[in-house]
């Protein structure tokens, strides 16, 4: 299967660590990346090639990818991190880009 599965929602208290998972068949064999999207805005890349941060992305964002699961971790979560998060990978077997269904992160 070339689908990516994310939990619809994750809640976290300010200052705590949020973890968002993305599951897919042999996902660890592919590069995974993550996007943050706030209401009315375009997505922003926060992690690429499993664990690299683009310039300007805070160090509290980190990523990992192994087996069938990629994980986005936000340490010391802040209110401004509240957003939808999407994972994405390239499925070489079908030569297509695949997105997860998105996870709404609530900071409360």
Partner 1 sequence: QITLKESGPTLVKPTQTLTLTCTVSGFSLTTGAVGVGWIRQPPGKALEWLALIYWDDDKRYSPSLKSRLTITQDTSKNQVVLTMTNMDPVDTATYYCAHRLTGDAFDIWGQGTMVTVSS
> The dihedral of CA 37, 38, 42, 45: what is its sign?
negative
Q: Does 57 bind partner 1 (CB under 8 A)?
A: no
Residue 51 falls in which region: left (phi positive, over 0), alpha (psi -120 to 50) or beta: alpha
In the region spanning residues 13 to 32, those forming contacts with partner 1, defined by CB under 8 A, are 31
Q: Does 98 bind partner 1 (CB under 8 A)?
A: yes
Nearer to partner 1, 69 or 102 (CB): 102
Query: Quick one: which of 11, 76, 101, 106 contacts partner 1 (CB under 8 A)?
Result: 101
- With contact defined as beta carbons under 8 Å apart, do 32 and 87 qualify? yes
Please work out the total of residues on this chain that contact partner 1, with binding judged by CB under 8 A. 24
């Amino acid at each position: 299967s070339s689908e990516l599965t994310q939990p619809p929602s994750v809640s976290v208290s300010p200052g705590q660590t949020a973890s968002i998972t993305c599951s897919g068949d042999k996902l660890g064999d592919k590069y995974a990346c993550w996007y943050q999207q706030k209401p009315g805005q375009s997505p922003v890349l926060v992690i690429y090639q499993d664990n690299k941060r683009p310039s300007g992305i805070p160090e509290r964002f980190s990523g990992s990818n192994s087996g069938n699961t990629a994980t986005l971790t936000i340490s010391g979560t802040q209110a401004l991190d509240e957003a939808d998060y999407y994972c994405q990978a390239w499925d070489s077997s079908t030569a297509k880009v695949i997105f997860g269904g998105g996870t709404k992160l609530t900071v409360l």
